[in-house]
Amino acid sequence: MARKKGFVSEINVTPFVDVMMVLLIIFMVTAPMMDSGLDVDLPQAKQVDNLPTDADHLVLTVREDGALFLDTYQVQLEELEARLSMLVKDKGRALFLQADKSVPYGIVVDVMGRIKAAGIERLGVIAMPATDSGKTAKK
């Protein structure tokens, strides 16, 4: 006499664990790549403070080719004041400027003037700490 099989009341978690392990490995591999930022050759300074770790600040980047990026989003020079006013001043955020060391001084001054025109009074500048090879000889 054949006995009828009833429902199995146990859950097989092996496929669930397999999927979660694959997702964990993918996350562990891709997470370090997400914080790479923009490629900028920063100038060196004698004393450099660490960038605040809070998420309530924005970084304005001027690349070697003159392109402007507010965090990772490209912004045109003409619309910089409006964007800064909306995203930095109105929300009470801090702004930090990082410019490639080969960017002409005039472009950096123009960008800083537009930052001031947007109503931002406090501006941080990002630089790399000076190394022994970065020192210049006195004349």
The closest of 39, 118, 123, 37 to 85, measured between CA atoms, is 118
Q: How many CA atoms lie within 13 A of 53 on its CB side?
A: 0
In order of start, what are the domains of the chain with their CATH numbers? Answer: 44-132 (3.30.420.270)
What value does the mean pLDDT of the chain take? 79
pLDDT one-digit tens code per residue, 81-135: 988 888 888 878 888 888 888 888 888 899 999 998 988 887 888 877 777 654 4
Q: pTM for the complete prediction? A: 0.59
